[in-house]
Amino acid sequence: MKLSEFIALSEEEKRAIVLQKGVAIAKRNLPDYMVFLFQLSCFYVETFCCHQTKEIQEYRVLYSTKHLTPYLETISIDHLLNS
């Protein structure tokens, strides 16, 4: 699926594609949301899930790895450096 095709989908279609074809690769917490990062064929999708309702409130498409910084900062590599 192309990025432009995903953007044109309805919210319900985006949800189905992310859950069926996306690969969950990371999670982070914000004050009001749990944000899950999924990888699709050539891009990434963040899903913003409300802490209270557990519903997806927003989808954000990331087309470049430079936008993955908030996730990369949470990966500990201490065990690799201490080997």
* Distinct helix (H) and strand (E) counts, the chain: 4, 4
pLDDT number for residue 77: 60
**Mean pLDDT to the nearest integer, 53-65:** 90
pLDDT in tens, 46-57: 999 999 999 999
Q: 29 - beta bridge partners?
A: 34
pLDDT at 12: 95
Which DSSP letter does residue 42 get? S
Identify which of 62, 32, 63, 64 has the alpha carbon closest to the alpha carbon of residue 48. 32
Write the CATH number of the domain with boundaries 3-81: 3.10.450
Per residue in 5-33, pLDDT (tens digit) is: 999 999 999 999 999 999 998 899 999 99
What pLDDT is attached to residue 80? 65
Q: For the chain, which residues make up each domain, given as ranges? A: 3-81
pTM of the model: 0.81
Q: Collapse the DSSP code of 54 into the 3-class scheme (helix H, G, I; strand E, B; otherwise coil) and give the result.
A: coil
